[in-house]
Amino acid sequence: MDLILPYLATLVVFFFVYNILTWGLNIQFGYAGVLDFTFITFVACGAYFAGVFALGPGSQQNGFEWILGLNLPFPVALVAGALAAGVLGILIGLIAINRLRSDYMAIVTLATGTVLYGLVSNFTPLFDGFDGLAGLSPPFAQALGLNSNQFTYLWVVVCGVVMVICWFIAQRILNSPLGRTMRAIREDQDAAETFGKDTVRVRLTAMAMGALLAGAGGALLMGFIGAFSPAGWTSGETFVVWAALIVGGRGNNWGAIVGSFVVAVLINEATRYIPPVSVDPTLVPTLRNMLIGASLILVLWVRPQGIIPETRRRFLQLPLRPGTPPIRGAERARG
């Protein structure tokens, strides 16, 4: 019991965080059709900024150097990380999103991510380069006098609270006229433009809000692990979130939950606990990555709408004026 519970709690933490991440990508891609192939960069941005807000100042003498180092309480750092990622989302969006070609979005996001990865890894004064940030003591643990297992349980609660807030953000956008306009732009950007929709602005909003959620997720990871380095920020991680969204079903946030459970918990996190094969320690992660890539393609192949498809919004409930003809559409829809 002493082993199982903390282990399950750890999985729950990852499940909650990946829910947040998948909703973030859902806002960007599922709602607004933005092909963000560097989603993990926003997660990293959130983690790094939360880190440098919560950590003390780095010093070159100790071999650690990073910007800021403000020693602020974790909730402040979390908000800072989310906001920083949101701003980065706008900046990358400004380059990537245009009215010309949708494949440019994919190319530019991928390229920006690669360059930022190189920059952060090589330029040590920023976030200590390849070594990354480390040494963040578990937030609240000391004040509350928690041991490491108790901290894990606490983190389940913290992640749960943030997750509920993120759920409301994602759902409110989806069910608002803004969400409808985002989905219209996803379907046909030019047509939305001819109705006077500033499609670039709306997509930038989606980019920023998605990145905001990514940043919040990153900050939660930072608080949980206490460290973050470029090693946790490879493009393979972007695939995990993409696969979760595509497998679960995009355009609705329930699908994202299913996807994040299947891909991020069952495939991704659970396989981390399989003992590495003695002959080749890299074999398990390699197989896991192949499995994630394959699940992405396979779902698009057999069930492109994902496990839970986008919900159809019905207007049957509205009070109909007298003389409204019977509903033909409902029968057609089933066929």
Partner 1 sequence: MGLIVQSVGFGLVTASVLAVAAVGLTLQFGVTNYINFAYGTYLLLGAYFTWTLSTKAHLNFVVAALLACLLMGVVAVVIARVVMQHFVSRQAPLFYLLIVTFGLSLILSNVIEAIWGPAFQTYNLAVGNPLILGPFSLTPNQIIIMGIAVAAMLGIHLMLTRTVLGKAMRAMSDNKDLAQVSGINTDQITTVTWFVTGCLAGLAGVALTVTTVSFGPASGSNFLFVIFAAVILGGIGKPYGAMLGAVILGIITEVSAVLVSAAYKDDIAFVALIVVLLLRPQGLIASRGRA
Partner 2 sequence: MPVAEAILKVDHLSHSFGGFRAVDDCSFEIAAGSISALIGPNGAGKSTVVGIIGGAMRTQRGSIHFDGRDISRMSAFKVARLGLLRTYQVSREFAGLTVMENLLVPPPNQRGENLLNALFRPSVGRAQDRELADRAFEVLETFGLLALRDEYAGNLSGGEKRLLELARAVMAEPKFMLLDEPMAGINPALIARLDGHIRRLRDDHGITFLLVEHNLDVVERICDRVVVMAFGRTLAEGQMSELRQNPDVVRAYLGGGLDERAAG
Interaction site with partner 1 (CB under 8 A): 33, 35, 37, 95, 98, 100-104, 106-108, 110-112, 114-115, 118-119, 122, 235-236, 239, 242-243, 246, 280, 282-283, 286-287, 289-290, 292-294, 296-297, 300-301, 304
Q: Is 313 in the site for partner 2 (CB under 8 A)?
A: yes
Q: Which of partner 2, partner 1, none is residue 205 near (CB under 5 to 8 Å by kind)?
A: partner 2
d(C-alpha 91, C-alpha 108), whole Å: 12
Tokens for 80, please give them: 């800072």
d(C-alpha 267, C-alpha 246), whole Å: 14
In the complex with partner 1, the residue whose CB is nearer, 79 or 244, is: 244
β-bridge partners, 64? 59
Q: Which of partner 2, partner 1, none is residue 266 near (CB under 5 to 8 Å by kind)?
A: none
HSE-up (13 A, CA, CB side) for residue 99: 12
Tokens for 162, please give them: 């943030």
Q: Which of partner 1, partner 2, none is residue 274 near (CB under 5 to 8 Å by kind)?
A: none
Tokens for 226, please give them: 């206490």
Rg of the chain on CA atoms, in Å: 21
What is the nearest approach in angstroms of partner 2 to the Cβ of residue 249?
Answer: 13
What is the nearest approach in angstroms of partner 1 to the Cβ of residue 272?
Answer: 15
Residue range at the interface with partner 2 (CB under 8 A); choices 155-163, 190-198, 237-245, 295-303: 190-198
* CA 300 to chain CA mean position, Å: 20
3-state helix, strand, coil in the chain (%, to 5): 70, 0, 30
Site for partner 2 in 193-232 (CB under 8 A): 193-199, 202, 205, 209
Q: Which residues touch 243 (CB under 8 Å, ≥6 apart)?
A: 259, 263, 267, 292, 293, 295, 296, 299
What is the nearest approach in angstroms of partner 1 to the Cβ of residue 277?
Answer: 11
Footprint of partner 2 (CB under 8 A): 99, 169, 172-173, 175-181, 183-184, 186-188, 190-199, 202, 205, 209, 251, 310, 312-316, 318, 320-321, 324-330, 332-333
